[in-house]
Every structure is written in C-alpha cells, then in structure tokens.
C-alpha cells in the first residue's frame, strides 16, 4: 500500500488541465493502485490524478459498489438534477451544496485502454461529474450554492462525553 500526498486547494496543479493517457505503463498502473489506496485512506468516494500532482486524465471512484477506473473519460449524456452536499479530499473538513445531473453516461478507457461506457445515477453520477471536473482544473467550489460548511463537528461531540 502506497499513499500519495493529496494536493490541497490553493495548489496550482489543481487548476490545470490534465493530458490524455496515450499508453499504459507500469508507472501509470502503480499510480492507479496508489490512487485507490489514497482515496480509501481518506475515506473519499473518488480521486483524480491531479489531486496527487499528476496531470493525467485518470480518475478512480468507489461509491461502495465496486472500484471503477476511468481513463480519458468523456461525459456523453446527462439527465435530471440532484442537489446535495459534496466534499473533496482536496478541501478536507469542508462540504457545500452542489446541484449535479442525477444521471450520467460516460465513455472512458479501462486499464487496458479498452473503451467502455458506464452509466451512473445519484452518488455515482455526482462522483463522475466531480472527478471529471478535476481533469479540467475545476473544483466543486465553482459550482457551490451558498457557503462551505465544516464537516468535523462529530469529533468534538465525542470529546465532550
């Protein structure tokens, strides 16, 4: 298990557009493994390569169903709307209200660079949109309605007991 350092908002790498992956290499396979480790360690449901400082169009997602790797993802179709709290490992301890499509159809490549199409609704649709935004240097704060709020209050409650 290898954890990578997660870049935090303010780091310019998070504002850059990532480059397409043209061929799979052992280095990129290692990167993908490390991205999963880093995402699970941070209790996130998604992580994009620029968040660990690599400007490649690679995203990992796990909303509790199965681990998903999206390489060079392209959103083909969206439908509906959902409004809810969203967070990001690059903005630890914060969340904000974001409206996203409730359905997303995305075309991407897997680790063998074979093309596939994935459909997602609800949390998966939200995660796909959020992570694809990272590849274009966009953070969820540019979609947020109202103010960000803290998500760390639970720890304080435990200490009072």
Q: Active-site residue numbers?
A: 131
- CB neighbour list of residue 159: distance below 8 Å, 6 or more residues apart: none
When the beta carbons of 32 and 88 are compared against Zn ion, the nearer one is 88
Q: Is 127 in the site for Zn ion (CB under 5 A)?
A: no
Q: Is 39 in the site for Zn ion (CB under 5 A)?
A: no
Q: Is 31 in the site for Zn ion (CB under 5 A)?
A: no
Site for Zn ion (CB under 5 A): how many residues?
Answer: 1
- CB neighbour list of residue 26: distance below 8 Å, 6 or more residues apart: none
Of 98, 100, 99, 101, the closest CA to residue 80 belongs to: 101
Q: Is 70 in the site for Zn ion (CB under 5 A)?
A: no
- Measured from the CB of residue 75, what is the shortest distance to Zn ion in angstroms? 16
- List binders of Zn ion among 78-107 (CB under 5 A): 88
When the beta carbons of 24 and 133 are compared against Zn ion, the nearer one is 133
H or E stretch including 128?
Answer: helix 122-135
Q: Are 130 and 46 in contact (CB under 8 A)?
A: yes
- Measured from the CB of residue 51, what is the shortest distance to Zn ion in angstroms? 6
When the beta carbons of 71 and 134 are compared against Zn ion, the nearer one is 134
Q: How far apart are CA 132 and CA 8, in angstroms?
A: 17
Structure-token pair, residue 106 = 């995305």
H or E stretch including 37?
Answer: helix 26-41
- Measured from the CB of residue 139, what is the shortest distance to Zn ion in angstroms? 7
Write the DSSP symbol of residue 117: E
When the beta carbons of 49 and 88 are compared against Zn ion, the nearer one is 88
- Interface with Zn ion by CB under 5 A: which residues? 88
């Amino acid at each position: 298990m290898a954890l990578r350092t997660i870049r935090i908002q303010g780091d310019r790498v998070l504002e850059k557009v990532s480059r397409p992956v043209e061929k799979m290499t052992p280095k990129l396979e290692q990167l993908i493994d490390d991205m999963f480790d880093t995402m699970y360690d941070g209790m996130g449901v998604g992580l994009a390569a620029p968040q660990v400082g690599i400007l490649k169009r690679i995203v990992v997602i796990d909303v509790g169903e199965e681990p998903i790797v999206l390489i060079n993802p392209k959103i083909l179709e969206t439908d509906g709307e959902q409004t809810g709290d969203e967070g990001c490992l690059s903005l630890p301890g914060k969340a904000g209200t974001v409206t996203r499509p409730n359905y997303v159809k995305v075309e991407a490549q897997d680790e063998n660079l074979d093309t596939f199409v994935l459909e997602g609704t609800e949390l998966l649709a939200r995660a796909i949109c959020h992570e694809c935004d990272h590849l274009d240097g966009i953070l969820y704060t540019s979609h947020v309605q109202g103010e960000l709020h803290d998500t760390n209050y639970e720890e304080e409650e435990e200490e009072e007991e």
